[in-house]
């Protein structure tokens, strides 16, 4: 992982006890969730969202021309974002009345909404950074599902603090890339954006292997955990990107496909 992002992981962050779960359900991804929550909770989240955008300025990091400035601005933004992340997650979890099934449903909606936003703006991000970002999103969403299901069945304890920190960091970094590709941040340094996308993939890979080591897939009855590793999902995202751009070829038969493969 790039050294600049490693600075974030090397710092100590004080995350208070969270009466919620580490998913993308937070003020960083309010769009698409409003209709699923009660009016009072939605209004509180919208207020937080407004405060978040007034307080967290990721554009300073993305526009920084020096590595040291990039590191410091990114760190400042993340420090501010964590408090909003935690507070909004608590609001959502309480609004769901601690219902694991609803939490899982909302987690799926949030992940789907984020991925759709990336594909709708795919032309604003180079190919490899796009694949890294969406791959990280998919892996993260699946691990969040495993955590929720394990907690529902009480097969696992509370996720360790390092896990919560990594989830919040990936959520923040994903929001930063999304802010750029949707036009919220103008004139960024491309190298800064791409360093963040590399970190998203790296952290998703770490989180995935940590879940495997803890036996989360087995706890929830997952029989195809290999399918959700970053390598496999990276290939799937790449294929979908090719399909979106029209860079595919159709064949009328398996024989035609084989002939084409044998005669490039």
Q: Which one has a higher pLDDT value, 200 or 79? A: 200
Task: Give residue-wise pLDDT tens across range 119-178.
Answer: 999 999 999 999 999 999 999 889 988 888 888 887 656 565 566 667 778 888 998 999
**Mean pLDDT (whole number) for 194-209:** 91
In a domain, 261, yes or no: no
- Taking the C-alpha atoms of residue 115 and residue 39, their distance in angstroms, rounded to an integer, is 26
- Taking the C-alpha atoms of residue 155 and residue 135, their distance in angstroms, rounded to an integer, is 27
DSSP code for 262: H
pLDDT score at 156: 57
Mean pLDDT across the chain: 81
In a domain, 52, yes or no: yes
What percentage of the chain carries pLDDT values higher than 70?
A: 76
pTM of the model: 0.85
Taking 50 as the threshold, does the pLDDT of residue 239 lie above it?
A: yes
In a domain, 258, yes or no: no
Q: How confident is the model at residue 13 (pLDDT cuts 50, 70, 90)?
A: very low
In a domain, 192, yes or no: yes
Alpha carbons within 13 angstroms on the beta-carbon side of residue 137 total 31
What percentage of the chain carries pLDDT values higher than 90?
A: 30
Q: How confident is the model at residue 228 (pLDDT cuts 50, 70, 90)?
A: very high
Number of domains the chain contains: 1
Residues spanned by the domain of 236: 3-10+17-245
Task: Give residue-wise pLDDT tens across range 14-60.
Answer: 444 444 555 555 666 666 677 778 889 888 888 988 899 899 999 99
- Taking the C-alpha atoms of residue 216 and residue 32, their distance in angstroms, rounded to an integer, is 28
In a domain, 264, yes or no: no
Q: Tokens 């509370």 belong to which residue?
A: 158
Q: Is the alpha carbon torsion for 77, 78, 81, 87 positive or negative?
A: negative
In a domain, 72, yes or no: yes
pLDDT score at 65: 92
Contact residues for 148 (Cβ-Cβ < 8 A; gap 6+): 21, 23, 100, 103, 104, 107
Task: Give residue-wise pLDDT tens across range 64-114.
Answer: 999 888 888 988 888 888 888 888 888 888 888 888 898 888 888 888 888
In a domain, 254, yes or no: no
């Amino acid at each position: 992982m790039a050294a600049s992002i490693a600075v974030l992981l090397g710092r100590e962050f004080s995350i208070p006890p969270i009466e919620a779960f580490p998913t993308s359900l937070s003020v960083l991804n309010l769009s698409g969730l409003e209709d699923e929550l009660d009016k009072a909770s939605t209004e509180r989240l919208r207020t937080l969202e407004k405060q978040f955008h007034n307080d967290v300025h990721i554009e300073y990091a993305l526009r920084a021309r020096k590595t040291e400035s990039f590191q410091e601005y990114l760190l400042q933004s993340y420090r501010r974002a964590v408090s909003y992340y935690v507070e909004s997650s608590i609001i959502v979890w309480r609004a769901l009345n601690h219902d694991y099934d609803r939490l899982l449903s909302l987690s799926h909606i949030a992940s789907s909404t984020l991925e759709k936003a990336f594909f709708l703006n795919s032309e604003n991000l180079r190919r490899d950074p796009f694949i890294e970002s969406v791959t990280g999103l998919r892996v993260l969403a699946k691990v969040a599902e495993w955590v929720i299901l394990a907690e529902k069945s009480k097969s696992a304890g509370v996720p360790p603090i390092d896990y919560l920190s990594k989830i919040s960091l990936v959520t923040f970094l994903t929001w930063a890339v999304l802010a750029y590709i949707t036009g919220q941040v103008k004139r960024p340094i491309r190298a800064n954006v791409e360093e963040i996308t590399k970190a998203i993939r790296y952290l998703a890979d770490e989180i995935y292997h940590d879940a495997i080591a803890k036996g989360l897939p087995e706890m929830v009855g997952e029989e195809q955990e290999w399918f959700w590793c970053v390598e496999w999902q990276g290939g799937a995202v790449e294929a979908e990107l090719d399909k979106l751009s029209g860079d595919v070829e159709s064949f009328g038969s398996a024989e035609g496909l084989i002939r084409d493969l044998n005669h490039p």
